Structure 1
């Protein structure tokens, strides 16, 4: 059983990608992600049989897979970034990410939901990784208007070898708050001067983070992270066969881009 008041959870759902230019290309696959409250991290590792912090296991999480790869605790790293950006912190920080499966892990996108001391969502940090070993974070303040969080920022990190750098991201996020049965979603539209180039979204439903639910998720999503990285390379082959050309550029560091205040919630990307 999950202790009462636990903010962490398990989100199972679907990832959808659609490229609109220069060739139409779409794919969809099932995934699950974990929402880990950083204050609950150690307790979860001790309590759950199927989720650990070691080098190998059915499912594992390593703090070094996130942030700047240093020994500084993740919550301290986030607090430092928030303070440097002049964003109010002091409350819970929750990480939405995929665990390592049988020791292997790759997360194209991990999302930190950062709260102020009074519990308000004050910022979202989008941590992007590419298959070349690079990692970049976009730290975006959040306004308090009801509805999905809508944000935008210029692209500052090379991710796909098929996409140029002169692009912008528009985010539309339904943040998780910890209520049982809640829906969470993260949608990203990639645009250039002519309009949308790519749309990608993760949409999922919450369940309690228990050993039973973890095992069920593993059984219904076998070799999750291996499937993701294999899918990335398989789709790259398909795009090459459709005539797309590779773009260059590798960014192995971990810079953080700080965005402006959230777009008005009524704006639609």
Structure 2
């Protein structure tokens, strides 16, 4: 597998219930092997790691480095440290990350997903790193017991002001060859309140795929952040109830898994 791949995707958000709402757009993401960042840094003249470029990936945007003034912690080490807490004594051979790239140095990542695999290549731990527009971050971490595992996590981080900070998530990511699938389902009172999906095709990182990916998706700096505020304004016009932001939680919380999809 290539050390870094671009994910050209279709991203859909569906709000269920009395006041339904739908958003669909194309997305441009990265699928990185966090143990090969030095190699990734040399894959394209238009892409850099921890430096400015047309497209770039910065470890400061994630994990324990987010908003930290301390020395940089390698994300591969951070993810393995979290995994050891769930799987003591297990060796995580590889750590992959799905996230949005910086474009001209700017990015907003609503969710990034770490996938940690053991020596046999089997997925063992998933970390769903969620951010909100208030500048808060929280990670939901759980074991993977089978290819059909869905993580179930109590909602801790206030994400949308149009949902109360209650309920739980059902989370699933799956990589099949060149295809990427991500499902995030938000449940309230055992009913689906919101469904977010990412369905993408992957290609190796290169000058050509970077340019074609930007052109085909229409991705530009901070588009996800602007899109969130535009959709929030539409929900406000629909008179959807507004919930104030509570105090943010700690950095991470454990999830549980269920062996069915």
Q: Same fold (TM over 0.5)?
A: yes
Any gaps of 5 or more consecutive residues in structure 1? Answer: none
CA distance in 2, matches of 1:54, 1:82: 24
Residues 13, 32 of structure 1: 8 Å contact kept: yes
Equivalent residue, structure 2, for 1:76: 77
CA distance in 2, matches of 1:22, 1:225: 33
20, 25, 30: which one pairs with 2:21? 25
CA distance in 1, matches of 2:38, 2:83: 23
Residues 154, 169 of structure 1: 8 Å contact kept: yes
Equivalent residue, structure 1, for 2:143: 141
Equivalent residue, structure 2, for 1:191: 187
Deviation (angstroms), 1:211: 1.8
CA distance in 1, matches of 2:192, 2:18: 11
Deviation (angstroms), 1:230: 0.9
Deviation (angstroms), 1:253: 6.3
CA distance in 1, matches of 2:236, 2:100: 27
Equivalent residue, structure 1, for 2:133: 131
Equivalent residue, structure 1, for 2:107: 105
Deviation (angstroms), 1:202: 0.4
Any gaps of 5 or more consecutive residues in structure 2? Answer: none
**Deviation by residue 1:131-181 (Cα, 9 ceiling, x = unmatched):** 11100001110013x4x43221110111111111111101232235xx4xx
Q: 1:79 to 1:30 in 2, by over 3 A?
A: same
Does 101-110 or 84-93 show the bigger shift? 84-93
CA distance in 2, matches of 1:123, 1:19: 28
Equivalent residue, structure 1, for 2:94: 92
SS at match of 1:184: strand
Per the normalisation by structure 2, the TM-score is 0.91
Q: 1:221 to 1:158 in 2, by over 3 A?
A: same
Does 122-131 or 187-196 show the bigger shift? 187-196
Q: 1:106 to 1:194 in 2, by over 3 A?
A: same
CA distance in 1, matches of 2:25, 2:43: 30
Per the normalisation by structure 1, the TM-score is 0.89
Dislocated runs of 4+, deviation >3 Å = 222-225, 250-254
Residues 149, 174 of structure 1: 8 Å contact kept: no
Residues 170, 189 of structure 1: 8 Å contact kept: yes
Count of aligned pairs between the two proteins:
255
Is 1:44 the counterpart of 2:46 in the alignment?
no
